[in-house]
């Protein structure tokens, strides 16, 4: 070919990365790997074969973790945990820093092994996955160093089980291990069956870096091995990234065990382009949103929402760009897309695209020759898609974008939020006010303005709705590997006796008993219970004091609907929310004597204790009024041209099951932080002593609290908690009571993967200062990280 010809067609030549070192590493291991347990590799007994996605050739034999092996790994992690946690923060920081340096020193080997094992382009493993993994260890070395001053009231969780997927095998490993180790936990990690090699390579590097035995353990295997880890009683937390289906299963399996859980699941993220956007910039954004990593990205911008005026032009420019993308060998440095991870994923992509076409979408695929062997799929665009189509709803997890048009900003928000997922969103507009207005309204854990798929160790990542819960990265992610010291050693709550009135005795004739039947409180009004049943409220000796409504599922539905309608509370200013809480405190204070005598009558406590409970309730209302405008977000400074605003947002509609004890203080301690942060609440008060809540209606009615912000349904906590847990329009559930209550709240919440906050039947000292403050406010908020361009 003449030089002139090269100038004419400007085509790329091959630019292959050498795989000699990586193949030599595989050969050194005879292409066969055991688990990494207690600081050394096991001999693989039961193994399975993995394949190279780009060629289909066999790659390695990996051990399939058995129950005994998982147990050995958990035992090793348990043994190492206490000495690891007892190291000084500085000593742990040095270990993490050593791991970061090790990654940097072996960066190219890791990048090549990853590209071979997963099929992703070397350009991405070399420039994104591996440097970012090193950054996670460096950043979290910092949290280890600062742990004693940054988190003085928190302790590590213990032994953490981590289960990661195949789309970012090495990055996910770093993302999970770094915060866990930094804060004094030890880990058993199960990589995905397709892509375990870089985890095993990392184990080798950690061994060489002198990480103490048992601090990390890697057990390879398939889903069954993951399930063994989830079920193991020696695990204190599961951190999972993967499909929503498996996430839901895990939520159900560990319900009631006391294990913590974070779930980072799927997404169908909107990529919104307004008509004032820099269109060429946005086209490049789409390339990074959906063709990065072959679209196998949980936060891929897979739904292109285009404003009508620019849609046609944008699609034309996008198609032209698609035609210039290159798909090929992952080890070719000049390709844009590599191979899909496995034939089963390729089949899934093909089937979903065929379904999209059958539903009426128009298919466009870049004109290109794909490699004939291996799992390859071209960049794909489906236009003319309707919001209800399967391809607009389901995560395709491949290089397939769909387009939908909209007219107004409000319509774009409606479309963006029309999804069971809520992981991320990308917003393109040259108008800062428009972009930030929409950023505030999209239901997502991460929002990028005029950018997409930006990640950093200092910035929390995670979703809402069926994209899971919990954050990874930054200060918000650190808390996911810690527990408040005040929660340690709490006693089990004594079993509650059944509420049955004894027959009247002569003593009952001393004073009048039944004065009225208290109703429910829904949408700012007192409402009769749907079933028209009531339940008794007794003195400690069993005499009847009053009756309250027996709320049922229908009452819960009405209360949830009232709470949903009170959406404006979320947008009330923090100052305004504080004013209402102060006003409630003022009105409660005016009736303090009456509330105290009611507490005495129900609980049998002496006047001094009852007075103290009312006084503490008033003080707690003041505290949360104070916090309302002080529990602010923060600004993260990632090493990019921009900042991330970590905004504290309300979760939405939250169900609250109050504990049996402390009838007034329990109610206030659980509802006030939620209300202060802009949530709307459906509360079920103390079952044996509900009158503090029903008396509270009068306080609410005179305190300018908008209707529907706090709704109260009296009744049996167990069925009412079940109704709340299974309600699709409830975003979170707090359940304080019996162990069985916690178990069912966690298990049933899996329906829409709502967040839960439960006490596993353990008593809280409601008078203690630790029963209020930031730990509670964290449960009452979602952190939304909004990345915005900033600076030069
Ligand atoms: P999975 O959710 O099945 O896999 C994620 C991890 O969980 C893997 O390590 C897997 O092991 C493990 N696992 C599987 N079943 C169980 C179980 N019952 N208990 C504990 N651990 C388990 O995802 P897939 O790999 O099957 O991918 C399927 C779909 O999930 C994709 O098409 C995509 O839509 C979505 N997905 C989303 C990801 C995200 O980042 N949000 C990442 C990966 C997939 P093993 O690999 O052996 O199956």
Residue of 88, 714, 783 whose CA lies nearest to 459: 783
Distance of CA 163 to the CA centre of its chain: 15
In whole angstroms, give the CA distance from residue 405 to residue 419.
16
Strand 40-41 and strand 36-37: the pairing is: antiparallel
| pLDDT per position as a tens digit, 257-274 | 999 999 999 999 999 999
User: Most distant CA pair in the chain: distance in Å?
Assistant: 114
pLDDT band at 514, cuts 50/70/90? very low
Domains by residue range for the chain, with CATH: 34-264 (3.40.605.10), 269-476 (3.40.309.10), 519-630+651-767 (3.40.605.10)
- How many Cα atoms occupy the beta-carbon half-sphere of 549 within 13 Å? 25
Structure tokens at 437: 């207005």
Residue 474 Cα to ligand 1 middle (Å): 25
| pLDDT per position as a tens digit, 432-483 | 999 999 999 999 999 999 999 999 999 999 999 999 999 999 999 999 999 9
Residue 46 Cα to ligand 1 middle (Å): 21
pLDDT value of residue 515:
55
Residue 258 Cα to ligand 1 middle (Å): 23
CB 404 within 8 A of CB 303: yes
Residue 49 Cα to ligand 1 middle (Å): 18
pLDDT value of residue 510:
47
Work out the average pLDDT over 501-527: 70
> What length is written for the chain?
792
Q: Which residue's C-alpha comes closest to atom 35 of ligand 1?
A: 243
Q: Is the pLDDT of residue 203 over 60?
A: yes
Residue of 766, 547, 556 whose CA lies nearest to 664: 766
246 lines ligand 1 (CB under 6 A): yes
409-416 — which CB contacts under 8 Å span 24+ positions? 409/274, 409/434, 409/437, 409/438, 412/270, 412/272, 412/274, 412/305, 412/307, 412/438, 413/438, 413/441, 413/442, 415/270, 415/303, 415/305, 415/387, 416/270, 416/272, 416/303, 416/305, 416/442, 416/443, 416/444
Q: Which residues contact 120 (CB under 8 A, 6 or more apart)?
A: 114, 129, 293, 294, 330, 338, 339
120 lines ligand 1 (CB under 6 A): no
Q: Is the pLDDT of residue 623 over 50?
A: yes
pLDDT value of residue 3:
78
The minimum-distance atom of ligand 1 relative to the CA of 172 is: 40
Q: Is the pLDDT of residue 9 over 90?
A: no
Q: Give the residue carrying structure tokens 């329009």.
A: 729
224 lines ligand 1 (CB under 6 A): no
Which stretch of DSSP H or E encloses residue 186? strand 186-190
The minimum-distance atom of ligand 1 relative to the CA of 423 is: 41
- Mean pLDDT in the chain? 95
Residue of 559, 538, 547, 465 whose CA lies nearest to 751: 465
pLDDT value of residue 160:
98
Residue 192 Cα to ligand 1 middle (Å): 7
Q: Which residue's C-alpha comes closest to atom 11 of ligand 1?
A: 223
Work out the average pLDDT over 601-620: 97
Structure tokens at 637: 């400074």
DSSP secondary structure letter of residue 126:
I
Work out the average pLDDT over 763-786: 97
The minimum-distance atom of ligand 1 relative to the CA of 194 is: 46
Buried b vs exposed e over 5-28: b needs ≥16 C-beta within 10 Å? eeeeeeeeeeeebebeebeebbee
- Whether this model's pTM surpasses 0.85: yes
In whole angstroms, give the CA distance from residue 106 to residue 103.
5
Q: Give the residue carrying structure tokens 């093909």.
A: 350
Residue of 548, 580, 593, 532 whose CA lies nearest to 701: 580
166 lines ligand 1 (CB under 6 A): yes
322 lines ligand 1 (CB under 6 A): no
| pLDDT per position as a tens digit, 11-32 | 777 889 999 999 999 999 999 9
Share of the chain above pLDDT 70, in %: 98
Distance of CA 55 to the CA centre of its chain: 36
Positions annotated as catalytic residues are: 264, 298
199 lines ligand 1 (CB under 6 A): no
């Amino acid at each position: 070919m003449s030089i002139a010809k090269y100038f004419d067609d400007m085509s790329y030549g091959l630019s292959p990365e050498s795989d000699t070192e990586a193949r030599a590493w595989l050969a050194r291991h005879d292409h066969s790997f055991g688990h990494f347990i207690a600081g050394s590799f096991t001999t693989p007994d039961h193994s399975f074969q993995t394949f190279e996605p780009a060629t289909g050739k066999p790659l390695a034999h990996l051990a399939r973790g058995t129950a005994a092996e998982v147990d050995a790994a958990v035992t090793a992690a348990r043994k190492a945990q206490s000495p690891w946690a007892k190291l000084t923060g500085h000593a742990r920081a040095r270990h993490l820093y050593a791991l970061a340096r090790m990654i940097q020193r072996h960066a190219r080997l890791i990048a090549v092994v990853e590209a071979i094992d997963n099929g992703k382009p070397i350009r991405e493993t070399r420039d994104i996955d591996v440097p970012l993994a090193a950054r996670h260890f460096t950043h979290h070395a910092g949290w280890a160093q600062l742990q004693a001053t940054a988190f003085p009231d928190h302790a590590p969780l213990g032994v953490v089980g981590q289960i990661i997927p195949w789309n970012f095998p090495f990055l996910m490993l770093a993302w999970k291990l770094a915060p866990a180790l930094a804060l004094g936990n030890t880990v058993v990690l199960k990589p995905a069956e397709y892509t375990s090699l870089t985890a095993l390579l990392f184990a080798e590097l950690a061994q060489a870096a002198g990480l103490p035995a048992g601090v990390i353990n890697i057990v390879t295997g398939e889903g069954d091995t993951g399930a063994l880890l989830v079920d193991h009683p020696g695990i204190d937390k599961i951190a999972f990234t993967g499909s929503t289906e498996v996430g839901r299963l895990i939520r159900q399996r560990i319900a009631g065990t006391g294990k913590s859980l974070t779930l980072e699941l799927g997404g169908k993220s909107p990529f919104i382009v307004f008509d004032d956007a820099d269109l060429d910039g946005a086209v490049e954004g789409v390339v990074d949103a959906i063709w990065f990593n072959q679209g196998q990205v949980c936060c891929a911008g897979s739904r292109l929402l285009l404003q009508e005026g620019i849609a046609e032009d944008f699609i034309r420019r996008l198609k032209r760009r698609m035609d210039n993308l290159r798909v090929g060998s992952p080890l070719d440095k000049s390709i844009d897309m590599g191979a899909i991870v496995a034939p089963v994923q390729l089949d899934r992509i093909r089937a979903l695209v065929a379904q999209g076409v059958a539903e009426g979408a128009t298919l466009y695929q870049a004109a290109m020759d794909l490699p004939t062997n291996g799992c390859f799929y071209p960049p794909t665009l489906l236009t003319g898609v309707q919001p209800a189509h399967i391809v607009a709803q389901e995560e395709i997890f491949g290089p397939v974008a769909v387009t939908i048009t909209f007219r107004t900003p409000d319509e774009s928000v409606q479309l963006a939020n029309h999804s069971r997922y809520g992981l991320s969103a990308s917003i393109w507009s040259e108008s800062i006010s428009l972009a930030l207005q929409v950023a505030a309204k999209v239901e997502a854990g991460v929002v990028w303005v005029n950018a997409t798929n930006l990640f950093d160790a200092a910035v929390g990542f995670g979703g809402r709705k069926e994209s899971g819960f919990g954050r990874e990265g930054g200060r918000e992610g650190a808390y996911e590997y810690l527990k408040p010291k005040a929660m340690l050693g709490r006693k089990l709550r004594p079993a509650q006796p059944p509420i049955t009135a004894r027959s009247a005795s002569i003593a009952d004739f001393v004073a009048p008993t039944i004065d009225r039947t208290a109703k429910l409180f829904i949408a700012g009004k007192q409402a009769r219970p749907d079933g028209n049943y009531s339940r008794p409220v007794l003195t400690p000796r069993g005499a009847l004091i009053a009756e309250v409504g027996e709320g049922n599922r229908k009452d819960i539905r009405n209360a949830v609907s009232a709470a949903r309608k009170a959406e404006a509370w979320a947008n009330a200013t923090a100052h305004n929310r504080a004013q209402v809480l102060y006003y409630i405190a003022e009105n409660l204070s005016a009736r303090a004597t009456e509330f105290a005598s009611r507490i005495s009558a129900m609980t049998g406590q002496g006047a001094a204790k009852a007075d103290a409970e009312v006084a503490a309730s008033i003080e707690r209302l003041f505290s949360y009024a104070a916090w309302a405008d002080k529990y602010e977000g923060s600004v993260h400074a990632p090493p990019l041209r921009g900042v991330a605003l970590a905004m504290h947002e309300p979760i939405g509609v939250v169900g609250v099951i109050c504990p049996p004890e402390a009838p007034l203080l329990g109610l206030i301690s659980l509802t006030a932080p939620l209300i202060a942060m802009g949530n709307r609440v459906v509360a079920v008060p103390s079952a044996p002593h509900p009158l503090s809540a029903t008396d509270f209606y009068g306080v609410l009615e005179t305190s300018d609290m908008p209707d529907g912000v706090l709704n109260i349904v009296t009744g049996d906590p167990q069925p009412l908690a079940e109704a709340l847990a299974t309600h699709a329009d409830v975003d979170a559930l707090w359940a304080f009571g019996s162990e069985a209550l916690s178990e069912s709240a966690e298990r049933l919440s899996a329906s829409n993967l709502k967040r839960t906050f439960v006490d596993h039947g353990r008593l809280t000292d409601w008078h203690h200062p630790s029963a209020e403050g930031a730990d509670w406010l964290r449960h009452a908020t979602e952190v939304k990280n909004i990345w915005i361009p900033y600076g030069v």
